[in-house]
């Protein structure tokens, strides 16, 4: 999804420089969300004394987000994947931040003695100690992400572009038409130029007459993936 998004909007920069601004704005928002999330977790899930595991987890995942950002724009990756950029790594960083939040909220509480010799819970936010509001928030976010992933998959799994992708064929970058709703073509059909780059009439590109993959195997894999997510 992120690669297709970046590729489509980058193609628009050849004709309209405003797509550069759109890419920069979306990328900035994603990195702001990821950075803000890590900062908030450092404030609420760590303390000056203790919480060593939480500190290590936050530092490790924050470092990995920086690493994938550097890899995405490295020359060796750019040579092989010219459409690789910070938008993809920014989206992945947001997802990693969500996974980190999910891990911290699911972690068993730690108990320590205060100055009065009483047991107190540490390394958890005050708002989540009684009503488990942080766990409810994680559940809501996870359900929303699951719904969006399934919706995107259902809406795009039968398009011609996805059929080509299953066979390792992709449209030429110069044929990309940048648009806000980049998941679908302007009219749902291939342009004449895109038809010319196909490999002839012997290959089926939609599901009107048949599929280019095993229909039962495809949905069986989705069935297993749904169970895994659950």
Q: Among 14-18, 35-39, 58-62, which stretch is predicted with the lowest mean pLDDT?
A: 14-18
Co-location of 156 and 62 in the same domain: no
Phi then psi for residue 184, to 5 deg, are -130, 160
| Among 56-65, 108-117, 128-137, the range of highest mean pLDDT | 56-65
- Judge if pTM exceeds 0.75: no
Q: Helix crossing, 215-229 with 133-156: angle to 10°? A: 170
Predicted local confidence at residue 75, as pLDDT:
92
In a domain, 185, yes or no: no
Co-location of 73 and 139 in the same domain: no
Q: Does the structure show a pLDDT above 50 at 192?
A: no
Co-location of 121 and 139 in the same domain: no
Co-location of 28 and 96 in the same domain: yes
Predicted local confidence at residue 86, as pLDDT:
93
In a domain, 183, yes or no: no
- pLDDT bin (cut points 50, 70, 90) of residue 63 is very high
Co-location of 72 and 31 in the same domain: yes
In a domain, 201, yes or no: no
* Residue ranges making up the domain that contains 17: 1-126
H-helix or E-strand containing 112? strand 110-113
Out of 99, 126, 153, a domain closes at: 126
DSSP state of 47: -
In a domain, 177, yes or no: no
How many domains is the chain partitioned into structurally?
2
In a domain, 188, yes or no: no
Q: Which has the higher per-residue pLDDT, 65 or 132?
A: 65
In a domain, 180, yes or no: no
Co-location of 139 and 91 in the same domain: no
Mean model confidence pLDDT for the chain: 80
Q: Does the structure show a pLDDT above 70 at 158?
A: no
- pLDDT tens sequence across 49-60: 778 889 999 999
Dist CA 10 CA 116 (whole Å): 61
Co-location of 107 and 63 in the same domain: yes
Length of the chain: 230
């Amino acid at each position: 999804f992120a690669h297709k998004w970046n590729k489509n909007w980058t193609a628009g920069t050849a004709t309209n420089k405003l797509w550069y601004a759109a890419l920069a704005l979306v990328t900035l928002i994603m990195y702001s969300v990821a950075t803000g999330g890590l900062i908030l977790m450092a404030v609420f899930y760590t303390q000056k004394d203790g919480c060593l595991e939480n500190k290590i987890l936050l530092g490790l995942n924050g470092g990995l987000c920086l690493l994938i950002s550097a890899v995405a724009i490295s020359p060796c990756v750019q040579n092989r994947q010219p459409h690789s950029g910070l938008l993809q790594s920014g989206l992945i960083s947001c997802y990693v931040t969500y996974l980190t939040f999910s891990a911290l909220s699911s972690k068993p509480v730690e108990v320590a003695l205060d100055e009065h010799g009483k047991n107190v819970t540490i390394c958890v936010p005050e708002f989540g100690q009684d009503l488990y509001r942080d766990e409810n928030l994680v559940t809501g976010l996870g359900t929303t992400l699951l719904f969006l992933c399934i919706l995107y998959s259902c809406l795009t799994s039968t398009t011609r572009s996805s059929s080509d992708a299953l066979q390792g064929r992709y449209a030429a970058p110069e044929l990309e038409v940048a648009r806000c709703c980049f998941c679908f073509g302007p009219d749902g059909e291939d342009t004449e130029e895109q038809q010319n780059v196909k490999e002839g009439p012997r290959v089926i590109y939609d599901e009107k007459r048949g599929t280019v993959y095993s229909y039962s195997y495809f949905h069986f894999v989705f069935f297993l993936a749904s169970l895994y997510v659950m």
